[in-house]
Amino acid sequence: MPFNSIQFLIFFPIVIILYFSIPHKYRWAMLLAASYYFYMCWNAAYIILIIISTLVAYTSGLWISKAKDYKQKRHALLLSLIINLGILFIFKYFNFFVNNLQKLLTYININIPLPYLNIVLPVGISFYTFQALSYSIDVYKGEKKPERHLGIFSLYVAFFPQLVSGPIERSTHLLPQFFEKHRINYKRIKNGLLLMLWGFFKKLVIADRTAILVNQVYNHAHEYTGIPLITATIFFAFQVYCDFSGYSDIAIGAAETMGFDLIKNFNRPYFSKSITELWRRWHISLSTWIQDYLYIPLAIKFRYYGTAGTITALLISFSLIGLWHGAKWTFIIFGAFHGTLISIETLTRKIRKNISKRIPAWIFNPISILTTFIIWCLSIIFFRANSLNDAIYIISHLLKSIELKTSGYNMGLGPAETLTAIFFISFLMGVEIFQAKGSIRAWIDKQPIYIRWTLYYGLIFCILIFGKIESSMEFVYFQF
């Protein structure tokens, strides 16, 4: 059940009404049923995977708490890791692994046909798997006491606002909130609905509009050179940002209306002055997950190797970030590229700091922001390209002749539509500049009622008039 569907617009108010209508002690059961229904609207059979992941993590937590020694605790953690990651591997990476193994065997003249699985990738499997794993690891590390209420733990894994595309929550943050009694709060509901509205604006008005041009050019990459490729790449940067941050805004806003606080997933990433900073602002729940559960343990393990150990931990961590996004070499290259860039920034930190001191901030900061954005755009060519061959072609033809192999500039959007997209992208960036100076919510609350409601209705009418509602597309991160 996508957020950008009529079905969700009916489902969500019903859930809110039921949530505040029934006694607190029964709310978890209603939310769990609603969350399972929400997920089963895609593929009812795959709900069994969420249930298995839940039971495994829940059981391992109890086992860890009862373990008499370190060895038993480690076995309990391994149970959760092997089963959860095993399910993820089978459904997401098995065919990729077999395909590459088949190519390797063929290359060395060994002709053995290998089996492939005819299965569909379950929606959101990477998100809820990582959420379940974080609980097992936190219990193992002693940072979270095991949850004994199976129903509420099940709700933690399957909570519908963030089930399909995050944010990836931590048990230490979200689980305790299900025991809190939430009452109807006008300000909280208003803020939640406004955040949802802003998320719908980013998705329907910007992401789905730019997607038309991006899909046309990237799906026929070899027909274009120069400006069309550059335009499509820049548009994709804003498509994927508005699509994913829009989903996060809707998820966080939906949870807020019921009284739940989800972690912030994006923080104006395109105003970053380095790639390292960008990853502190982009998909924060994933980057911090990898940092806490993979990079830091690796860095500690490799600490005896000094800088080389740190670089190795970075490269492994970011390569796995790329692989997390999908079973394609383009994703792995995307992750490894960012690991390499952050390694270079780590090695040159002192040099860059000295340079920044010698250049006025009003010159250094814009140049750094622009440079970071250009590097990001180059990297996401691998993220979006349909194949490694397409990615290489696009990069090698970005600065070549703007003349098309086909007649005219047929990029999916006409001039007026393209200018509309540019206008709303500029509007979004303007809002984010304003956000840097203070809270938008606080500013809106200080305005007279007629200004506030003018803003609210203005955003609604903007979505209705300029949003790609009839041709609304699936959220990009559903495939992960």
Q: Which helix (H) or strand (E) holds 400?
A: none
What is the sign of the dihedral through the CA atoms of 380, 386, 388 and 390?
Answer: negative
- pLDDT of the residue at 164: 87
For the chain, what is the radius of gyration of the CA atoms? 24
User: What distance in Å separates the CA atoms of residue 480 and residue 473, rounded to the nearest whole number?
Assistant: 16
- pLDDT of the residue at 305: 87
Q: In this predicted model, what pLDDT tens digit does every residue of 410-429 receive, in sequence order?
A: 777 888 899 999 999 999 99
- pLDDT of the residue at 406: 44
Evaluate whether 213 touches 413 at the Cβ level (below 8 Å). Answer: yes
Q: Where are the domains of the chain?
A: 6-183, 188-479
pLDDT tens for the chain, residues 1 to 480: 788 888 999 999 999 999 999 999 999 999 999 999 999 998 889 999 999 999 999 999 999 988 888 888 999 999 999 999 999 999 999 999 999 998 888 888 888 888 888 888 888 899 999 999 999 999 999 999 999 999 999 999 999 999 988 799 999 999 999 999 999 999 899 999 999 999 999 999 999 999 999 999 999 999 898 889 999 999 999 999 999 999 999 999 999 999 999 999 999 999 999 999 999 999 999 999 999 999 999 999 998 888 899 999 999 999 999 999 988 999 999 999 999 999 999 999 888 888 888 888 888 889 999 999 999 999 999 999 999 999 999 999 888 765 544 444 577 788 889 999 999 999 999 999 988 877 777 788 888 888 888 888 999 999 999 988 776 677 776 666
**338 is an active site residue:** no
AA identity, residue 134: S
Structure-token pair, residue 183: 């009452």
For every residue of 295-357, DSSP letters joined together read IHHHHHHTGGGTHHHHHHHHHHHHHHHHHHH-SSHHHHHHHHHHHHHHHHHHHTHHHHHHHHH
- pLDDT of the residue at 407: 42
Cβ neighbourhood burial of 286 (10 Å; 0-12, 13-18, 19+): buried
Contacts of 42 (CB under 8 A, 6+ apart): 1, 123
Whether the link from the prior residue into 167 is cis, omega within 30° of 0, is yes
Q: In this predicted model, what pLDDT tens digit does every residue of 177-212 receive, in sequence order?
A: 999 999 999 989 999 999 999 999 999 999 999 999
Reduce the DSSP state of residue 11 to 3 states and report it.
helix
Structure-token pair, residue 388: 């490694």
Evaluate whether 368 touches 273 at the Cβ level (below 8 Å). Answer: yes
- pLDDT of the residue at 257: 96
Q: Please provide residue 162's backbone torsions phi and psi, each rounded to the nearest 5 degrees.
A: -115, 15
User: What distance in Å separates the CA atoms of residue 156 and residue 12, rounded to the nearest whole number?
Assistant: 18
Place of tokens 């190519």: 103
Evaluate whether 375 touches 341 at the Cβ level (below 8 Å). Answer: yes
How many C-beta neighbours within 10 Å does residue 171 have? 25
Cβ neighbourhood burial of 26 (10 Å; 0-12, 13-18, 19+): exposed
Number of H helices, E strands in the chain: 23, 0
Structure-token pair, residue 358: 């010698």
Structure-token pair, residue 70: 């370190």
Q: Give the burial string for 232-260 (b: 16+ CB within 10 Å, else e).
A: bbbbbbbbbbbbbbbbbbbbbbbbbbbbb
Evaluate whether 81 touches 97 at the Cβ level (below 8 Å). Answer: no
- pLDDT of the residue at 62: 94
Nearest to 386, CA basis, from 187, 221, 192, 197: 221
CA angle 276, 317, 339 (to 5 degrees): 45
Place of tokens 């890791």: 81
- What DSSP character marks residue 437? T
Q: Please provide residue 133's backbone torsions phi and psi, each rounded to the nearest 5 degrees.
A: -65, -40
Write down the catalytic residue from 173, 220, 222, 325: 325
